[in-house]
Structure 1
Amino acid sequence: NGEEKRNCKESQGVSEYKVWKTQKLSSAKDKEPEQDQDIPDDSWRSADCWKQSVESNKSSILPFTETSGPNHWLSRNSDAIDFFNLLFPAALIELITKETNSHAKTCQFLDASYPDWVPVTAHEVKRFIGLVILMGIQNLPDPSHYWSWNHYDNSCTFYRAMSFKRFKQIATNIRMGSFATSEYCGTGNPGDSLHIFRPMLDIMSEAMWNTYQPNCCLTIDRALLPSLEEESSHLKGNPKMQPQVWLLCDSKSGYCHRFFIQVGQKAGQEVGVTVVPELVKGLEGKHHQLYLASSLTSIPLMQKLLDQNIYASSSFPPPNPILPQELWDEGQLEKPGDFLQRQCGPLLATRWRDTKEMGCLSTNAAPGEADTVWRRSQTKVGGLDPIDRPMAFRLLQENMRGVDICKQLLACNPLGGIPQDRHWRSLFWFLVNLSIVNAFIMLRESRKENPPAWVQDGLFTQVNFRKRLGNQLVKCSQKYLETMEIASNRSTRTETLGDPIKERHRMAKISSISKRCKNCNTKSVRHESVYGCIICKANLCKQPSCFWEFHGLSFKVNSGTETEKEPRM
């Protein structure tokens, strides 16, 4: 009897739960906006499901209310190198240092390569990256020209950083992972084709995501890796097997929040289903608006994003199989400004004629609500004609350029002096360049109210940022090296006191005509002088500060009130 009573109570409890659940879902269905309702499976494939939108069927677009923008602890006077260290942290420099030395040691053991290899240090890796950045600003036909006074004005920076032979050694051996390192090879997922990159990807991804909180509008599109060198592309890599890099970027600034590297693709699987869910992790439930490349768009994907409270939009040329063919055949858009819209649940399909007809699928726009844009007149020479533009296309055109902005910044000043004869090298340097671009955007967004002194007229340019960053990476690590050398050679200093005074670096008149100051030139400031260092043969401003800064030392002041008239080292 006790057993029967217990079973009866359990049955009654289940029945009551089912009734409550049904009432709860029914109540939620009445209260929730229409976009939260699922579209019946495959019903969108039928043109009958796409109805003319009416006022009562408009979906409510919930507002984005999250905190967004730069998220860091840097002070208001932080410089280029500080923002680079946020996006390319010390842990990543240490990883590259460790794996580069490991690779060179393995090569020495296997085939006696690089017998004169000296282990690289973290500061030397920074100097190397700084030189690579500077080489990308001014392209020379041969890397050795950067160490030549006749070919490059700033060659003193390269001479003081490292020799050309050492630069080539590091460029050949630099690694972010190793097949010979059992810690990262074959663990977790033996089929992971990116296992060499995995430690680097983990460090970079965390830094990029935590440093800038996403805004409302984001863009997803593909970025092209630099092509392999012509002489080796057909021998050392199949271009069809090149990794595909997809970026999630801020629609306004171009900051890259996250990337996804796609190697190969399963047959019959849509690209969007593979790429987009990986990029939107952490965006769920915040009402972001996502603008997708046309190759990623599908109705099931948009419904899945909407279930996560992420709105989406994408455009595509007609006719496109995303929508039923009947929607493309229905009506003709004869003149610019004409548009047709159909709705299937929360999905809005829009056909609009601008200079040519385009299609748009969105969940973030209300039907209608056209604004006016101006286009070149077809009847009046030099005139403009107003045309209507539906809200779906207005939002799309205003917010779709995020990845394009990022790609433009990547392409303006590519890194120089490095071999790119393998897909992994091309990907590695792409990621380094991406960190530089993100650091530039972070500095521009963080210091737009109080720009650094080297920013002229408040105009942030990537060229000046890269000059500043490259020189800072070289000089900061160089000062560390010089400090260590001074400490190690302090015991032998008494022996060098007898050296002839003529061997010292000192200021004197070295040219009959004034030339640009080598130190001010690194700061993008134009000063000319006939004076300079007689040993370095570099023109410098007459005041001692340029002499000391050029040689990597702090500005020295006498015990009195005046500085030295003739600086010496």
Structure 2
Amino acid sequence: MQILMGINQLPDYSFYWSNNKYLGNQGFKEVMSVKRYEKLNQYIHCNDIETDVPVDQPGHDKLHKIRPLIDSSLQNFAARYNPNKNQAIDEAMVAYKGRSVAKQYIPSKPTKWGFKVWMSYFTSIPLLQDLLSNGIYGCGTIRQNRKGFPQDLKNAPRMQTGQFVGRQTDNMVGVVWMDKKPVNVVASNESLIEVDTTNRRQKDGTNARVTRPRVVTNYQENFRGVDISDQLRAKYSIGRPSKKWWKYLMNFIIDLCIVNSFIVKAETEVPQVARTKKRYRQLDFRINLSTQLIGNFARLRTPAPPMRPRASHAHLKLGRKRSTCKLCTKTGEKKRKTTQMGCEKCDKHLCSAECHNTFHVNIGIGVVTEE
């Protein structure tokens, strides 16, 4: 249901159970009541709070509330996917403005307040050397003040767009390329002498071909993997606003599981089958996934009490709230009498057997009352 809420977004969850035909969701109403949904959201947990180590003791885990979900997700991500040749490493932000020691403020990010989730490491010379020793080539942007970055590249001269300077030692290459501003790249998968060209828009609106090192080209062609994942996640993200910080991270991980599942399906689909069908979108995947997860589940409905045959103008207790006696109010008594007793067949409240008989005599029905 949360997945479907990410697709069909309404300003308040209660609208999904609305009687308004343009807002209410009949499927949600059949799965569970709104009160049941509220209770599940109120009491949902990912870990046993009794096992949490206090803050002032060794072994305290700031993410204890969602640790099992993190561990099982990481385990499944590694076990269910064989990486391709080019893998992107980056960071992601989970938007949150509440109170939490893990919250960060990064003014340069589109999402300025929230939790920084590492799908990456900072690019560094030792990191690329370590990857290369394990047979893995690497490429990434780097800050000029990084330890190990050549000193003469840190103080690179002012250049025109398309110009670059670089240094190479064995497989390690460092480049400063002038685009609109300097781009610093280190890599172990390209040679310094290989170059190509790319288009850049000029101030007068025309396009011009500028020189670009192949090491920069390789980076720009493959660096957007995490960005694409963020785009897929943000398009139909699950979750509602909450006061609990850990729910935002829980929803992020669930969304990431959905996106990764969609990517695995897209990459493992048989090409012949894929060509005979229209493009399978993430929207289709989420609809099918939520439909299969709900399955045949339906809310438990309290059976209605068996219908009792109506008595013949019997005086008995009515199954509803108290109300005024219909005879006493007509006879002009100052004292107002309320009762739960009455005639079920006439659907009238009558406070006593005397009122009951008098009422029916007045309307032309002679009855014998039952208590």
Shared fold, TM over 0.5: yes
Q: CA deviation at 1:305?
A: 2.3
Q: Which has the larger radius of gyration?
A: 2
Q: CA deviation at 1:167?
A: 0.3
**CA separation in 1, counterparts of 2:208 and 2:123?**
32
> Which residue number corresponds to residue 246 of structure 1?
118
Change beyond 3 A, Cα 1:350–1:138: same
**CA separation in 2, counterparts of 1:327 and 1:462?**
44
**CA separation in 2, counterparts of 1:451 and 1:151?**
39
> Which residue number corresponds to residue 342 of structure 2?
none
**CA separation in 1, counterparts of 2:249 and 2:296?**
26
**CA separation in 2, counterparts of 1:451 and 1:155?**
33
Match of 1:179 among 43, 49, 54: 49
The yes-or-no answer on 1:355 pairing with 2:180 is yes
> Which residue number corresponds to residue 461 of structure 1?
281
Q: Deviations over 1:503-554 (max 9, x none)?
A: xxxxxxxxxxxxxxxxxxxxxxxxxxxxxxxxxxxxxxxxxxxxxxxxxxxx
Change beyond 3 A, Cα 1:356–1:426: same
**CA separation in 2, counterparts of 1:192 and 1:142?**
33
Paired residues of 1:237 and 1:422 also in contact (CA < 8 A):
no
> Which residue number corresponds to residue 234 of structure 2?
411
Partner letter of residue 130 of structure 2? K
The yes-or-no answer on 1:210 pairing with 2:79 is yes
The yes-or-no answer on 1:300 pairing with 2:300 is no
> Which residue number corresponds to residue 247 of structure 2?
425
Q: CA deviation at 1:132?
A: 0.7
**CA separation in 1, counterparts of 2:227 and 2:293?**
28
> Which residue number corresponds to residue 402 of structure 1?
225
The yes-or-no answer on 1:192 pairing with 2:61 is yes
Q: What do you get for the CA RMSD once the two structures are aligned?
A: 3.3
Paired residues of 1:179 and 1:185 also in contact (CA < 8 A):
no
Q: CA deviation at 1:194?
A: 3.1
Partner letter of residue 297 of structure 2? Q
Deviates more, 1:237-246 or 1:370-379: 237-246
Partner letter of residue 430 of structure 1? F
> Which residue number corresponds to residue 138 of structure 1?
8
The yes-or-no answer on 1:339 pairing with 2:164 is yes
Change beyond 3 A, Cα 1:360–1:151: farther
> Which residue number corresponds to residue 478 of structure 1?
297
Q: CA deviation at 1:419?
A: 4.0
**CA separation in 2, counterparts of 1:330 and 1:356?**
12
Give the secondary-structure state (helix, strand or coil) at the position aligned to 1:223. Answer: strand
**CA separation in 1, counterparts of 2:104 and 2:196?**
43
Q: Deviations over 1:80-99 (max 9, x none)?
A: xxxxxxxxxxxxxxxxxxxx
**CA separation in 2, counterparts of 1:333 and 1:151?**
64
Q: CA deviation at 1:324?
A: 4.3
**So what's the TM-score if we normalise by structure 2?**
0.70
1:427-442, aligned counterparts within 5 Å? 427-442=249-264
**So what's the TM-score if we normalise by structure 1?**
0.47
Q: Deviations over 1:461-517 (max 9, x none)?
A: 22232223223322x1517x78xx9xxx9xxxxx99xxxxxxxxxxxxxxxxxxxxx
**CA separation in 1, counterparts of 2:241 and 2:211?**
51
Change beyond 3 A, Cα 1:374–1:430: same
Partner letter of residue 239 of structure 1? K
Change beyond 3 A, Cα 1:435–1:301: same
**CA separation in 2, counterparts of 1:456 and 1:247?**
35
Q: CA deviation at 1:372?
A: 2.0
Higher helix share: 1
Q: CA deviation at 1:223?
A: 1.0
**CA separation in 2, counterparts of 1:152 and 1:415?**
22
> Which residue number corresponds to residue 108 of structure 2?
none
Partner letter of residue 207 of structure 1? N
**CA separation in 2, counterparts of 1:357 and 1:415?**
39
Paired residues of 1:237 and 1:423 also in contact (CA < 8 A):
no
Over 6 Å off, 4+ runs: none
Paired residues of 1:302 and 1:312 also in contact (CA < 8 A):
yes
> Which residue number corresponds to residue 444 of structure 1?
266
Q: Which protein, 1 or 2, shows the higher relative CO under an 8 Å CA cutoff with sep ≥ 6? A: 1
The percentage of aligned residue pairs carrying the same residue is: 32
Partner letter of residue 243 of structure 2? D
Q: Deviations over 1:323-373 (max 9, x none)?
A: 344324344322x22121112343211111223321111111111211122
* Unmatched 5+ stretches in structure 1: 1-130, 249-271, 273-295, 490-494, 497-569
Change beyond 3 A, Cα 1:311–1:143: same
Change beyond 3 A, Cα 1:449–1:309: closer
Q: How many residues align?
A: 295
Paired residues of 2:156 and 2:176 also in contact (CA < 8 A):
no
Give the secondary-structure state (helix, strand or coil) at the position aligned to 2:15. Answer: helix
Change beyond 3 A, Cα 1:450–1:169: farther
> Which residue number corresponds to residue 367 of structure 1?
192
**CA separation in 1, counterparts of 2:264 and 2:18?**
34
The yes-or-no answer on 1:309 pairing with 2:135 is yes
